[in-house]
Structure 1
Amino acid sequence: MTSDRARRGKGSEVHGIFQKIAGYYDRMNFVMTLGRHEKWCREVAARVAPVRGGQLLDLATGTGVIALEAARRHPTVTVTGVDFSEEMLRRAKAKPGAGAVRWQHADAASLPFEDEFFDGITEGYLLRNVEDLDRVLREQHRVLKPGGRLVILETCPPSGLVEPVMKWGMRVVVPLLGQVVARDRSSYSYLESSTRAFESPQSIAGALRGLGFKDIGWRKKFFGTNVILWATKGD
């Protein structure tokens, strides 16, 4: 079992990385996905489909791409964007339309919200960066209302015929892009390794099913290196 000290150590390391990369996070996402990242974020915001006048939580909001799109797409919904990186939140708050979102600094493993408070939850690239995946998913289940939808944008390890080529590309190209675009090879070496080591969509779906989620599905993107996964909390 991982000790609390080890969890805090990894949490501090990941927090430091995201504090460091906040200034070029959007640019690197654009480059690494060949411009597809914002389209995926729009799909996430559309799929969550919260009820009119409801509450929507965007976890690991980062620079707010999903949260801002959700606020535009669902103008009657109260959108709350949460992140553990203060610098990411500062960047999000400076974007056009940021006043339509409630921004909050919080840890996804211990959310400061009441049970069954939100009608929908979205998140982008959260799960691969947490120490206790089950705990984070349990927190999402706790704060989501029955019948509410969870929509996840995440990386996933490549598989199938393209697996060797994509693994080589991720191992070599992603850190190189970090060096060229952001002058930061080490942070993107971590992000590349966390992608290759992360769970498959089938594994995440199994964890969600075990918590009581239903109607689970996913769609892979970009040669299987990214995935949008969705699920509904059971009654």
Structure 2
Amino acid sequence: MTTERAPQGKSPEVHGIFQKIAGYYDRMNFVMTLGRHARWCREVAVRAAPPSGGRLLDLATGTGVIALEAARRYPGVSVTGADFAEQMLERAKVKPGAEAVRWEHADAARLPFENESFDAITEGYLLRNVDDLDGVLREQHRVLKPGGRVVILETCPPSGPIKPVVDWGMRTVVPLLGQVVARDRSSYTYLESSTRAFESPQQVADLLRRIGFHDIGWHTRFFGTNVILWATRS
């Protein structure tokens, strides 16, 4: 499990949650994934593979972990990190290497970019927090160039034989960690409930295919509670 990026298109109350967690976002990510979060973000950046001289958009950039990794890995690529939560962006802008990224305040449901603007799109913990999943993915399809790749890091509901154990852990441990580490139980109660209510990787893949993506694949991580999913615009 992990904490998440700012919600796009959700109610002001939910948006407020993500403004509030910005100060301890990175610390909670580390604790809740037992240190795996940074590795997953590196994998997202690697799978995006934008061409030299191209443009990469990191949506729901949060504190900029994926965007900064992409900027380090691809110095010849123009990297834009966009998020709906101003407090998240303020944290990202003061990190080492932040000057290599263009930071944008933007709503993923209404991206302020021209059609076919980017060679690759990355995102972390965005989709579970939007009102219109289909519309948000269509926006990404719109601003992505033909042949460009989208790479998604997201939580997913547990499944399989260990589902009851993982469900119990999410209901019990996640809010408790929020209370102990961040003094914020309510925000992490939202985290676990939104994860368990979200689509499966197969359902997200089916939606991507209907929108016009192909070469779709995914790998689950951390007892099936996180997934890295990728697709290419036809």
Scaled by the length of structure 1, the TM-score of the pair is 0.95
Q: Distance in 2 between matches of 1:11 and 1:41?
A: 27
Equivalent residue, structure 2, for 1:159: 159
Root mean square deviation, CA, Å: 0.9
Which structure's relative contact order is higher, taking Cα pairs within 8 Å and 6+ residues apart? 2
Measure how far apart 1:219 and its partner are: 0.1
Measure how far apart 1:87 and its partner are: 0.2
Measure how far apart 1:14 and its partner are: 2.2
Equivalent residue, structure 2, for 1:114: 114
Q: Distance in 2 between matches of 1:14 and 1:229?
A: 25
Deviation digits for residues 75-115 of structure 1 (CA, Å, limit 9, x no counterpart):
10000000000000000001000000000000000000000
| Letter of the 2:119 counterpart | D
Q: Distance in 2 between matches of 1:136 and 1:149?
A: 15
Deviation digits for residues 112-153 of structure 1 (CA, Å, limit 9, x no counterpart):
000000000000000000011011000000000000000000
2:11 match: secondary structure:
helix
Pairs aligned (count) = 227
Q: Distance in 2 between matches of 1:152 and 1:185?
A: 27
**Aligned positions of 1:83-98 closer than 5 A:** 83-98=83-98
In the alignment, is residue 39 of structure 1 matched against residue 39 of structure 2?
A: yes
Measure how far apart 1:15 and its partner are: 1.2
Greater helix share, 1 or 2? Answer: 1
Q: Distance in 2 between matches of 1:124 and 1:196?
A: 17
Identity of aligned residues (%): 79
Equivalent residue, structure 2, for 1:60: 60
Do the aligned residues in 2 keep the contact of 1:11 with 1:130 (CA within 8 Å)? no
Measure how far apart 1:229 and its partner are: 0.0
Q: Distance in 1 between matches of 2:31 and 2:43?
A: 19
| Letter of the 1:198 counterpart | F
Equivalent residue, structure 2, for 1:51: 51
Equivalent residue, structure 1, for 2:78: 78
Q: Distance in 1 between matches of 2:171 and 2:131?
A: 22
Scaled by the length of structure 2, the TM-score of the pair is 0.96
| Letter of the 1:47 counterpart | R
In the alignment, is residue 129 of structure 1 matched against residue 129 of structure 2?
A: yes
Equivalent residue, structure 2, for 1:3: none
